[in-house]
Chains A and B, each alone.
Chain A
Amino acid sequence: MNTSAKTSVSTPAAAPLIQRLLEEYAGFARTLGPADGATARRRAAIAAIAQTGLPSTREENWRYANLRPLERQRFTPPGAASTAAAPTLPANLAEFARYVFIDGLLSAGASAALDASRAKLTLHDEAAGESGGIGAGLATGDGEAAQSQRFALLNDAFATGGLAIRVPAGTTPVRLELLFLASAEAATGTSYPRLQISLDPGASLVLIERHLSAAAAASFVASAVNVELGREAILEHYRLQDLNGRCILFDTLSAQLAQEAQYRLHAIGSGALSSRSTVVVRLAGERAQLTLAVAALGERTQVQDTFARVEHAAPRARTVETFRGIAADRSRVAFNGKVVVGNGAAGTDSQQSLRGLLAGPEAEIDVRPQLEIYTDDVRCSHGATAGKLDDNMLFYLLSRGLSQETAQRLLKWAFLEDVVAQIALPALRRQIEERLAAGLRDDALRELL
């Protein structure tokens, strides 16, 4: 099935939005002046947006994301953030360098710097005249991969800062934590976190990427992350999305793995009013390995939507994909996991385990494994379930004297365990467990941690 129905600029609903976007961009570009180091990138991106438009809910692949706020928000970055209210940041983790960004721009004074001898870090402030900019590494053309990354084009066009990190080969992994704080109201401007990660052959990085709110503002965030892993490089990547309940997030991550590279991507999303995460990974080298573990918690009217497209383009690469999502109240939680095995990818090994838990009468869960296989000699397995809490488990806990509420929370907790247990950093795992326990509103659980 072709899910990438083309959107044309001329469709009546999209036209005014794109028109306004183009006008806003023109004004924004004038403010940048000749010092801007990313002019070519911006122009290419805005031309692509003009041509393809932004996604609409009529597209199969975008039916959960909340696209309505697009009509009200300002696309231009909000500029210097007001640092009036310093937010409470998560506790520092030992041995991790930390950088804090507010609305996509580096915030001085809130960071512990990385040892320059360990990795090359480039902090970009393109508007101030630094050249080069950060490549987005987006797929081009009108295929599904490119279509799914259209929100990254916004980031390409408007982002004025960001971070590029290049890690050379080394025996001990570099440890880095990035905090992206959203503070501006959507009507004031959009927050554009932007990140380029390159690992040289044999390099190793542990990266924690957090998306948080610095204020109670209803922020609009369009983040773009690009990952390039060289031969035998290892990236352990933790993405934690905990924006406040009024924010809108469109996140795009694209990654490319060379031969025998290993990418362990753990994403845990519990925040925002509406969050759409698009993950596009290409296993380009032989025996590359991807572990993708995603947990999503929805409550109230939240939307947690993930689209993961994994392309096996080389022989004997391996993907292990796990999704656990809980939809409570009237929330909607969706995971669409697509694995494409190209005709040169003999010996592919792909496993998908996708499970959704419906925890509210008006909640919605959608888990979809999709396989497209263009070669023989592959091992692809997938399991997908969506359902309610297991009655037998529930009764067992009740029969031991636990209250209905505690029993249900405990089972929800257990449900997420398949993803949480994969977090290899004990201190981080504890932070996440505490957050999830709070998300499940359970003091009893917190006590047990």
Chain B
Amino acid sequence: MSTTSTTGTPPLLSIEDLQARVEGKEILKGVTLTVAAGEVHAIMGPNGSGKSTLAHVLAGRPGYTVTAGSVRYQGRDLLALAPEERAREGVFLGFQYPVEIPGVNNVYLLKAALNAARKQRGLPEVDAFDFLSLVREKMKLMRMDESLLSRGVNEGFSGGERKRNEVLQMLVLEPKLAILDETDSGLDIDALKVVAGGVNSLRSPQRSCVLVTHYQRLLEYVVPDFVHVLVRGRIARSGDRTLARELEQRGYDFIAGEAA
């Protein structure tokens, strides 16, 4: 179960009564969530409920101020770590709107990111040949054109290409905790399947995934262990995958009504 530890080791991620504000506005009003290693959790909820804020707070985005509560990751205080330290410790945020960075080469970023994580683990820098074959293999899985590698980060990428690029980075970095912020939005059905395939390929007893999504469509392909509904900054309801289907049929209003 996600809420109890059977082996005595702490859960991968443990969020307690998390409250946060953005630009002076209270967005998260007490989120409690526990994610054990190997689990996939879906966070759903209407627009403005705080889903993206939660994702960004976990990644450490400046301007997102935690006002109360705690987040423990692998038994450590996650909030005390700088964004780059969180990344090196295995936290990955897949952005809803990945930014375009012309002039910073895609493959360079991949390599620098991988080496930063390896350094943290006491590993030597990745061998150039091994690195390229790894990237090629993952690109194939994501059905991405190799020419995208030599471009600037997301430079001139379509919306779908950007999302695939996020998942590609995730596959190369192999994070312990992947937080995907509406990675499914704006994707057609074929792209959605590719992205889902990428996420599924990473599932293992050691890795966890938090999927932030507005629709249950993605959850047909990446089957979550738990589904949580965030309403007005709090988790209003938790359940298994059937909750997602119920939401699809009845909309968010019925839960919003319950939570009010």
Q: For the complex formed, measure the closest distance between the CB of B58 and the CB atoms of chain A, giving whole angstroms.
A: 10
Q: Which of A288-296, A387-395, A423-431 contacts B (4 or more CB under 8 A)?
A: A387-395
Given A396-B98, A399-B93: A414 in contact with B113 (beta carbons within 8 A): no
Within 8 Å CB of B112, what residues of A?
400-402, 406, 410, 444
Within 8 Å CB of B60, what residues of A?
398-399
| B140 contacts chain A at the CB level, 8 A cutoff | no
Q: For the complex formed, measure the closest distance between the CB of A23 and the CB atoms of chain B, giving whole angstroms.
A: 52
Given A396-B101, A397-B109, A413-B103: A402 in contact with B62 (beta carbons within 8 A): no
Within 8 Å CB of B92, what residues of A?
399
Given A400-B113, A402-B116: A393 in contact with B87 (beta carbons within 8 A): no
Docked CA distance A399–B60 (Å): 8
Contact A398 B87 (CB under 8 A): yes
Contact B59 A414 (CB under 8 A): no
| B102 contacts chain A at the CB level, 8 A cutoff | yes
Within 8 Å CB of B109, what residues of A?
397, 400, 402, 410
| A448 contacts chain B at the CB level, 8 A cutoff | yes
B88 contact from A396, A401, A418, Cβ within 8 A: A401
Contact B99 A396 (CB under 8 A): yes
Contact A413 B62 (CB under 8 A): no
Given A391-B62, A413-B104, A414-B152: A400 in contact with B87 (beta carbons within 8 A): yes
| A415 contacts chain B at the CB level, 8 A cutoff | yes
B169 contact from A393, A395, A398, A400, Cβ within 8 A: A400
Which chain A residues in 368-406 approach chain B with CB under 8 Å?
Answer: 390-393, 395-404, 406
Within 8 Å CB of A410, what residues of B?
104, 108-109, 112
Which chain B residues in 187-222 approach chain A with CB under 8 Å?
Answer: none
Contact A393 B83 (CB under 8 A): no
Within 8 Å CB of A415, what residues of B?
103
Within 8 Å CB of B111, what residues of A?
448
Residue of B nearest to A412 (CB): B103
Contact B152 A401 (CB under 8 A): no
Within 8 Å CB of A395, what residues of B?
61-62, 83
Q: For the complex formed, measure the closest distance between the CB of B195 and the CB atoms of chain A, giving whole angstroms.
A: 18
Contact A411 B104 (CB under 8 A): yes
- Scan B151-192; emit 1 where CB is below 8 A from any A CB, else 0: 011000000000000000100010000000000000000000
| B252 contacts chain A at the CB level, 8 A cutoff | no
Residue of A nearest to B116 (CB): A401
Which chain B residues in 53-76 approach chain A with CB under 8 Å?
Answer: 59-62
Q: For the complex formed, measure the closest distance between the CB of A396 and the CB atoms of chain B, giving whole angstroms.
A: 5
| B95 contacts chain A at the CB level, 8 A cutoff | yes
Given A400-B87, A401-B116, A402-B113: A393 in contact with B108 (beta carbons within 8 A): no
A399 contact from B59, B102, B104, Cβ within 8 A: B59
Residue of B nearest to A403 (CB): B84
| B13 contacts chain A at the CB level, 8 A cutoff | no
Interface footprint category on B? 20 to 34
| B126 contacts chain A at the CB level, 8 A cutoff | no
| A59 contacts chain B at the CB level, 8 A cutoff | no
Q: For the complex formed, measure the closest distance between the CB of A7 and the CB atoms of chain B, giving whole angstroms.
A: 42
Given A410-B104, A411-B104: A398 in contact with B84 (beta carbons within 8 A): yes
Q: For the complex formed, measure the closest distance between the CB of B9 and the CB atoms of chain A, giving whole angstroms.
A: 24
Contact B101 A402 (CB under 8 A): no
Docked CA distance A78–B84 (Å): 54
| B22 contacts chain A at the CB level, 8 A cutoff | no
Within 8 Å CB of B142, what residues of A?
none
Which chain A residues in 413-449 approach chain B with CB under 8 Å?
Answer: 413-418, 421, 444, 448
| B117 contacts chain A at the CB level, 8 A cutoff | yes
Docked CA distance A414–B100 (Å): 11
Docked CA distance A417–B153 (Å): 13
Contact B103 A417 (CB under 8 A): yes
Within 8 Å CB of A397, what residues of B?
101, 104, 109
Within 8 Å CB of A418, what residues of B?
102-103
Within 8 Å CB of B134, what residues of A?
none
Within 8 Å CB of B120, what residues of A?
401
Given A391-B62, A402-B84, A402-B116: A448 in contact with B108 (beta carbons within 8 A): yes
Contact A401 B113 (CB under 8 A): yes
Within 8 Å CB of A448, what residues of B?
105, 108, 111
Q: For the complex formed, measure the closest distance between the CB of B98 and the CB atoms of chain A, giving whole angstroms.
A: 7
Docked CA distance A396–B88 (Å): 14
Given A398-B82, A399-B59, A399-B83: A393 in contact with B99 (beta carbons within 8 A): yes
Q: For the complex formed, measure the closest distance between the CB of A353 and the CB atoms of chain B, giving whole angstroms.
A: 13
Within 8 Å CB of A401, what residues of B?
84, 87-88, 112-113, 116-117, 120, 173
Docked CA distance A399–B99 (Å): 12
B101 contact from A391, A414, A421, A444, Cβ within 8 A: A414
> B101, B152, B153, B169: which has the most chain A beta carbons within 10 Å?
B101
Residue of A nearest to B107 (CB): A448
Within 8 Å CB of B93, what residues of A?
399
Residue of B nearest to A414 (CB): B103
Contact B116 A398 (CB under 8 A): no
Within 8 Å CB of B153, what residues of A?
396
Q: For the complex formed, measure the closest distance between the CB of B99 and the CB atoms of chain A, giving whole angstroms.
A: 5
Docked CA distance A393–B98 (Å): 9
Contact B102 A404 (CB under 8 A): no
> B83, B87, B116, B120: which has the most chain A beta carbons within 10 Å?
B83
Docked CA distance A416–B104 (Å): 11
Docked CA distance A414–B169 (Å): 20
> A396, A400, A413, A416: which has the most chain B beta carbons within 10 Å?
A400
29 contacts between A and B (CB under 8 A): A390-B99, A393-B99, A395-B61, A396-B95, A398-B60, A398-B82, A398-B84, A399-B59, A400-B116, A400-B173, A401-B84, A401-B112, A401-B113, A402-B109, A402-B116, A403-B116, A407-B84, A411-B101, A411-B104, A414-B101, A414-B102, A414-B104, A414-B152, A417-B103, A417-B152, A418-B102, A418-B103, A421-B103, A448-B105
4 A-B pairs with least C-beta separation: A414-B103, A417-B103, A401-B116, A401-B87
Interface residues of A (CB under 8 A from B): 390-393, 395-404, 406-407, 410-411, 413-418, 421, 444, 448
Given A401-B120, A402-B109, A418-B102; 14 other pairs, CB 8 A cutoff: A391-B62, A393-B99, A393-B101, A396-B101, A398-B84, A399-B59, A401-B113, A401-B116, A402-B84, A402-B113, A404-B84, A410-B104, A414-B104, A444-B112
